[in-house]
Structure formats: C-alpha cells, structure tokens
Amino acid sequence: MDSAKSELAMPAVGEVFDAYASLRGLAKGQTKVAPSHDAGLGGWLLSVFDLDAAGIAALVAGAVAGSAVLAVDGQRERGKQLLRYGICDFVVNDLDEALRILKNEVRRKQPVSVCLSADSEASAREMVERGLQPEVMAGRNVLTAGPLRDRGAARLEAGTAPGELVTWKLRNEAAAWAAGPVLARVDELAAGALGEDVEETLWRRRWLQRAPRYMGRRLGAERCVRMRDAEATRMMAALHKDAALAAQVIVVRDGTPVEL
C-alpha cells in the first residue's frame, strides 16, 4: 500500500472539542440522554465514514461523549495507526466482528471505538441489512450512507462552538514523561474557572475530565476548552498564582500566546 495514501491528517484539539460540542447540541432534548448526565451519550452509536481529520475528530469526540463509535475507512493502515496512537480501541476487517464488540458496549452504555477496514457505501448497506442503525453519522463519505440517514440518523455538522478557545501544552516537549501530571493540574484550574451559572459548564467539565483518556499520544499532549471572557481571565489569574506551574506550560488564548 502507498504510505502517502494512508498517512493520517490529524485534527487540531480545538476541532475535536468543537465536534464534541456539536454532539452535545444534537443530544439536547433527546429522551435517550438522561438529564443528569447532559452530554453523556452512553447507548448511542456514532458512525464515521472516512478517517480524514474531521472524521478522527468525530471519532474522538464520540468516545469522550460516551458513545460507541464505528469508523469505516477503506485504508486499513489508518485504523492501525489510530490503534497505535491509542485513539481507537479495535481494528477489524468485517462488520460481524465489529458488531460483536459494539453490541456489548452499546447495551452497557459504555464508550468504545472500532475501526472497520471496508468500503463506506457497501458497509452502510450491510448495516441496514443487519439492523445496525446509528443515532449520528459523520465523515467525508457520509453521503454514501443515504439509507442510514433515511432511517433517522442525524448528521454531525462541522462548526465552531461559541467562546474563546484556550489551549495549553507542556513548554518543554522533550519532557513528555511530565506532561500528564502537569497538564492535569492545568485542567483542574480550567474546570474551576468555568462559571457555575453557565449552561454548558457541566459538559465542558466532562470534556476536561474525559478527553485525556481518549485523545491518545498524538492529540493528548495539548489540552483545550472554549471559555467565556470572564472564565478565561479567572483561569489566567489562577495560573499567575502558581508560578511554578505556569513556568511549565504554554497557554494560547484565542490564538494569542499568554504571558504567564
């Protein structure tokens, strides 16, 4: 196989957050989602057709939100790379194998991501024949899955969530072994800065808590969340108070590096 054809185009972390926000928007008002869990999509199936950057963003966002994800791509190497990076859980060659994994986790309302190496259009037809109906579809080849759309699957539209995008990563990227504890401390400051009276705070905190588990090595070295101006200001003030922590990270607020 030509490696150039299977090379992954990874999304930015902000794109993953925005896909997560879009999923949350689709979930609002759906009786299948318990109000106390807000963005928790346990029991949902998200089907992604093509693992380009937007497709990968949707895959990760779905897992963070708690759904089961079936990603279909004709290039097996893409799925294998995602498996190596810790971004997907399984790579399979046929729908039967994918179904065995997905059915258990959908029933248990647990997140899982399965990459299926197959043609998108043929897979969509086979999914209809097997009675496998996703709640949501995403990906560049989603138009080939018309029968699933006709049966009620919503389409995850690309878009930008409201608010300033605040990102943070380790200043010394060579010290990757320290990234987890350091970034987790900044995650906590970010979560604490979110307004208690803001509707989206619950699902944004869920994102901050769960995203590191599903972002894998290629995406997990950088964290992000969208904030209102007052929230971002509170986060920067909290970092200023912890000079030792601030010295270890680079923070970018709405595209502009922050002096800490």
Give the single-character DSSP code of 258.
P
Whole-number Cα distances in Å, 119 to 75, 94, 195: 9, 10, 45
Tokens encoding 180:
């987890």
The pTM (predicted TM-score) of the whole model is 0.92
Given a cut of 70, the residues of the chain with pLDDT beneath it are: 1-6, 29-39
Question: How high is the pLDDT of residue 7?
Answer: 72
Instruction: Report d(CA 60, CA 87) in Å as an integer.
Output: 7
Whole-number Cα distances in Å, 11 to 19, 59, 66, 96, 230: 11, 11, 20, 29, 28
Point out which residues pair with 170 in neighbouring strands: 249
- Give me the residue spans of the domains in the chain: 3-155, 164-257
Whole-number Cα distances in Å, 82 to 178, 208, 219, 250: 23, 21, 11, 26
pLDDT tens sequence across 12-71: 999 999 999 999 998 875 645 444 444 479 999 999 999 999 999 999 999 999 999 999
Give the HSE-up count for residue 221: Cα atoms under 13 Å, Cβ half-sphere. 12
The domain 3-155 is placed in CATH, from the list 3.40.50.10490, 3.40.50.1100, 3.40.50.450, 3.40.50.10730, at 3.40.50.10730
